[in-house]
Amino acid sequence: MDYTITAVDRALSLLEVLAENPGVGVTELANLTGNTKSLVFRLIYTLEQRGYVIKDPSSRTYTLGYRILTLAADTQNHAALINAARPLMDELAQQVQENVNLLVRDGLHSLCVALRESPLPIRLFAQVGRRGPLHVGGGPKVLLAFAPDDVRDAVIAAGLDVHTPLTITDPDRLRTVLDTIRRTNFNESHGDLDAGSFSFAAPVFAAGGQVVAALSVAGPADRLDDAKAETYRRLVRTHAARLSDLMGHRPRMLAAV
């Protein structure tokens, strides 16, 4: 079965042609892409409205827009993050023997960009590329806590879906939890996303001080005891801080008085 969306395919092809032939007009783009002028005009107009194409009003020609650079920068940032996280995640996974996840925020969702699965026979389901909600779980709530105000408002306004009986569905209670996460730079979750599970998570900071990811350890609750919980809290905090350091983050030092 062909799942290709023709309009999307044509728009991407047009961007590729424009990258190789900057400063061309609609007629030339139609000839280069094999599309009609009418179709090219509609495609190029849409791309222009989204910032992917810039029109020169005097010559009526087009070049790639700055939105392309933003996407490229985001891709480079994620690649740098994953490369820096790789050895730390390997080390942490060996120490805890549970799932180790690296999550980033993708709009109003969390996105798993790196994973180390537990070697134990019973483990939580996890998958690189998996998107999830932001209001539940260890790592996702870290991302929501440090997200811009409008993101938090949008997540709450969209409705706090119930995943287990322990899911927080009261907006005021959720905001209180998020305030605590921002104050402590840490979150632990017990059964609010997956019943019978735990997750300990800490934020990863970039050089500019913004949170770019959440690092978490997660597993079945029946393997967790007080001693392990304390160990996981310490290790997650330590490894998230080390990864932040690799990303160029330098915590502010309080001035002596």
For residue range 228-253, list pLDDT tens digits in order. Answer: 999 999 999 999 999 999 999 988 75
Q: Is residue 18 part of a domain?
A: yes
Q: CB under 8 Å to 52, separation ≥6 — which residues?
A: 15, 64, 65, 67, 68
**Cα–Cα distance, 4 to 184 (Å, whole number):** 46
- Considering the domain architecture, whether residues 97 and 56 belong to the same structural domain is answered as no
For 196-227, the pLDDT digits (tens) are 999 999 999 999 899 999 999 999 999 999 99
Instruction: Give the separation between CA 106 and CA 112, rounded to whole angstroms.
Output: 10
* 93, 61: one domain: no
**What value does the mean pLDDT of the chain take?**
92
User: Is the pTM above the cut of 0.85?
Assistant: no
For residue 217, with 0-12 CB atoms within 10 Å meaning exposed, 13-18 middle and 19 or more buried, which class applies? Answer: buried
* pLDDT tier for residue 1 given thresholds of 50, 70 and 90: low
Same domain, 35 and 131: no
| 79 & 60 share domain | no
Q: Are residues 78 and 61 located together in one domain of the fold? A: no
Same domain assignment for residues 172 and 139: yes
Structurally, how many domains does the chain consist of?
2
Kindly state whether residue 254 falls inside one of the protein's structural domains.
no
CATH number at residue 27: 1.10.10.10
Instruction: Give the end of a domain, one of 65, 82, 111.
Output: 65
The residue among 31, 50, 65 that closes a domain is 65
Instruction: Summarize the confidence of residues 67-71 as an average pLDDT.
Output: 80
Average pLDDT over residues 23-46: 94
Domain hosting residue 237, numbered range:
72-246
**Is the domain of 106 the same as that of 230?**
yes
- The pLDDT of residue 157 is above 70: yes
Residue 253 lies in a domain: no
Note whether 90 and 34 are same-domain residues: no
Last-in-domain residue among 28, 44, 65: 65
Torsion angle, alpha carbons of 107, 135, 231, 82, to 10:
-10
Q: Please indicate, yes or no, if residue 14 is contained in any of the structural domains.
A: yes
Identify whether the C-beta of residue 198 lies closer than 8 Å to the C-beta of residue 164: no
Note whether 42 and 142 are same-domain residues: no
Amino acid at 146: F
Q: What's the token pair of residue 40?
A: 């090219």
pLDDT of 107 strictly over 70: yes
